Amino acid sequence: MKTFHLVSTLALLGGGLLTLSALPLYADDDEHEHHEHEGKRAKHALTMANDPSYVEECAACHFAYQPGLLPARSWQKMLGNLSDHFGENAELEVDKQQQLTTYLMENAGDVKPSGIYYELAGRLNKKATPLRISQLPGFVHEHEDIPARVLKNNPDLSSFSQCQQCHTDAKNGSYEEYKVNIPGYGRWDD
């Protein structure tokens, strides 16, 4: 994809001086969209889940959600009841559980906030302790326009909890809308 730029230029036109300012011109709409959204990356990016123990223990069964997606109180409650982790027994040795609890609590969305955390949890009642990212007010708002048919009978996407299925760069903490590609449906653009 080529990017063309109009360089600042001085030109004489009919005896007068005309100044052309630098204006980016894009040869491809996708390239323009990439640059347009690149500036918003910090707003929509989270630090990727990078604790080796967390990735080893949690990503063995599901996507390694970034700690910044939930408030500390949610992680604390979730790790306090691993014997019933969404219907599964995910109990860990005490020292491993404490290590993961510390990692998640120190990197939680309300401890190290980002733009995406405020978008997802900004309207969250301060007393609420959601255990699912999909319960956050901003998450519900962002996903409410996606038709039920996208999930129904979709073998690659059984619920919205599978972030990495649609957000193609979720593993790296990137949830930009222009990178959404819904399995069996295609690119999502609202």
For residue 156, give the DSSP letter.
T
Closest CA to 79 of 98, 51, 61: 98
> Does residue 159 sit in helix, strand or coil?
coil
Higher-pLDDT residue of 82 and 24 is 82
The answer to whether residue 175 scores a pLDDT higher than 60 is: yes
41 neighbors 115 (Cβ within 8 angstroms):
no
| C-alpha torsion angle, residues 118, 65, 134, 86 (rounded to 10) | -140
Give percent above pLDDT 90 in the chain.
Answer: 45
4 neighbors 25 (Cβ within 8 angstroms):
yes
Give the predicted TM-score (pTM) of the model.
0.73
Distance (Å) of CA 26 to CA 1, 57, 160: 9, 44, 34
The answer to whether residue 6 scores a pLDDT higher than 60 is: no
pLDDT recorded at residue 46: 86
Distance (Å) of CA 96 to CA 75, 126, 133, 134: 15, 29, 23, 26
117 neighbors 110 (Cβ within 8 angstroms):
yes
Distance, in Å, from the CA atom of 86 to the CA atom of 161, rounded to the nearest integer, reads 12
Closest CA to 58 of 81, 28, 90: 90
